[in-house]
Chains A and B, each alone.
Chain A
């Protein structure tokens, strides 16, 4: 059940330059029964002239405390306003949205998680979920600009962690696939979130390796719930809902099988 809820900020801090971590608690009795890795929420800036929710991936879900954690880059005025909140403040949230990863399909396999930049946060919840699946071997390869990294310690708890940095100041110099190749990582499935050039490269990589790839896509959104048709991605086949070759990232996605989408 999707709803708009007034959440309470329980923790907010910067993890790296311009990267904010914000934890929000549900009011009593409002929490959803299930939160899947790869799902997201729409966070409303506390700013009267900003109308649209900002789609931000779920980085952690604590079902005991009923807390969702988000890690986001301060990209513009909306995320700046969110980052300016303090513990005890409230933030309106539309959630939880999107399909998320099908962890059942990944269970028992060697799984490669690839996160690039602000694509890192959803990989933490996915790594945590997969760590509970018996026989699942998770390697997380995260790409950052430089050694000002974030979430590496937490990721290391749930997965074998490798990093790549653009400037080579930590881990492999280059991108996440450079690190995969350098370390000769082999996997039976790959999950990726990050900028479009990275996702394209991951799609090619998975085709070469003949393994399934699940990509988390981004597009500018308005409603977040499938009503406005703002957030579509091109699909290989005619989509079951739209009846054209477009699927709504907020509803049919954000996670798609690489072969389902035409990302060039």
Chain B
């Protein structure tokens, strides 16, 4: 603990760490040396490049904006229908449509760098070379961290193997870590038998953090038309329906590794975010529920602060892994 923090703790007189001089809880968290003003991020692919939701949310208030997956060149993505609602959630098979790294840097990163928030760039690719090319292009760019999507269930070849085989995951993590200038977050897929093993593989490869969970592969059939609802047949399930699975996996990963964990999967309220933190997450991301409530990220931040006050907890980071 820093001297400043100790002083703050003494001033607050709570006997707990972190409470700021104002008496308000300290919402900041530090992940791989990057300090976020609060633990609330956006989940990749559910918040565009931030631009789309900047009409609703003050981006300056967010802990970080995590951008939609970007590849070395533009990707067309999958045919439509790409989305379907299901009980308590939704399926998506966007297929990682993106404008490619050049446009992303010129337009989206330039836009985001006007805001006082951290920017985490989510990276996708079909092959090792494609991932590495994007990572390299980001060397001198205003990105605070990289999140590597080795787990997208909607892209036919490539990514899924990296994310589902521990050896491949460790390997690609090490290669990315070697050339990346920013801290590297490996985003884990829940579509595996043992999430702890995957978290350990990422850690062994040198990941600075892991984020989980990505979507769970699902399917919906229109029984009247007797056809798949999604053109891709399968899609990734997200939303409140997956939350208990995600909380369990965050907890298992937290038992397995020392690196920080960013937890996500169906967060719909501050209470849900707190649950992920208690399970072992150092930060959280709000995903599909942005579609239900475009103001949700700010509500989660405010609600988490209220929770800390209500429980006389001095700092958000004290929640991490508090339930064992």
Please tell me if the beta carbons of A220 and B83 are within 8 angstroms of each other in the complex.
Answer: yes
Instruction: Establish whether residues A244 and B99, one from each chain, have CB atoms under 8 Å apart when the complex forms.
Output: yes
Encode B196-240 as 1/0 by CB contact (under 8 A) with A: 000000000000000000000000000000000000000000011
* Neighbouring A residues of B290 by C-beta, 8 Å: 223, 227
Kindly state the separation between the CA atoms of A56 and B288 in the bound complex, as whole angstroms: 20
Segment from A47-55, A65-73, A110-118, A141-149 that makes contact with B? A47-55
Q: Which of A154-162, A197-205, A228-236 contacts B (4 or more CB under 8 A)?
A: A228-236
Contact B293 A225 (CB under 8 A): no
Judged by a CB distance under 8 angstroms, whether A246 is at the interface is yes
Closest residue of B by beta carbon distance from A42: B291
Q: Which has the most chain B C-beta neighbours within 10 Å: A51, A231, A241?
A: A51
Chain B residues 278-324 with CB under 8 Å of chain A are 288-295
- Total number of A-B contacts with CB less than 8 angstroms? 109
Q: Are B291 and A245 in contact (CB under 8 A)?
A: no
* Residue A168 interfacial (CB < 8 Å): no
Q: Is the CB of A232 within 8 A of B89?
A: no
Q: Inside 8 A of A78's CB, which chain B residues have their CB?
A: 85
Q: Mask for A1-37, Cβ within 8 A of B = 1, else 0?
A: 1111000000000000000000000000000000000
B99 A51 Cβ-Cβ under 8 A: no
Inter-chain contact B103/A243, CB cutoff 8 Å = yes
Number of B residues with CB within 8 Å of any CB on chain A: 39
Contacts of B293 in A (CB 8 A): 4
User: How far apart are the CA atoms of A49 and B94 in the complex, in Å?
Assistant: 23
Contact A219 B97 (CB under 8 A): no
Residue-wise, chain B 39-61 has the 8 Å CB interface mask toward A (1 for contact) of 00000011110001101100000
Q: Which chain B residues lie closer than 8 Å to A3 at the CB level?
A: 55-56
Report chain B residues within 8 Å CB of A232.
77, 80, 82, 97
CB distance from B48 to the nearest CB of A (A): 4
Set of chain A residues within 8 Å of B77, measured between Cβ atoms: 229, 232, 244, 246
A227/B52 in contact, CB under 8 A? yes
Q: Tell whether, in the assembled complex, residue A228 and residue B53 are in contact, meaning their CB atoms are under 8 Å apart.
A: no
Q: Which residue from B76, B83, B89 sits with its C-beta under 8 Å from A244?
A: B76
Please name 30 pairs of A and B residues whose Cβ atoms are closer than 8 Å in the assembled complex, sorted by A: A4-B293, A4-B295, A44-B292, A51-B239, A51-B291, A52-B90, A78-B85, A219-B80, A219-B81, A220-B84, A223-B290, A223-B291, A225-B52, A227-B46, A228-B48, A228-B83, A228-B92, A228-B291, A229-B45, A229-B82, A231-B82, A242-B74, A242-B99, A243-B74, A243-B99, A244-B74, A244-B75, A244-B76, A244-B97, A244-B99
- By a beta-carbon cutoff of 8 Å, the part of chain A in contact with chain B is 1-4, 44, 49-53, 78, 94, 219-233, 241-246, 251
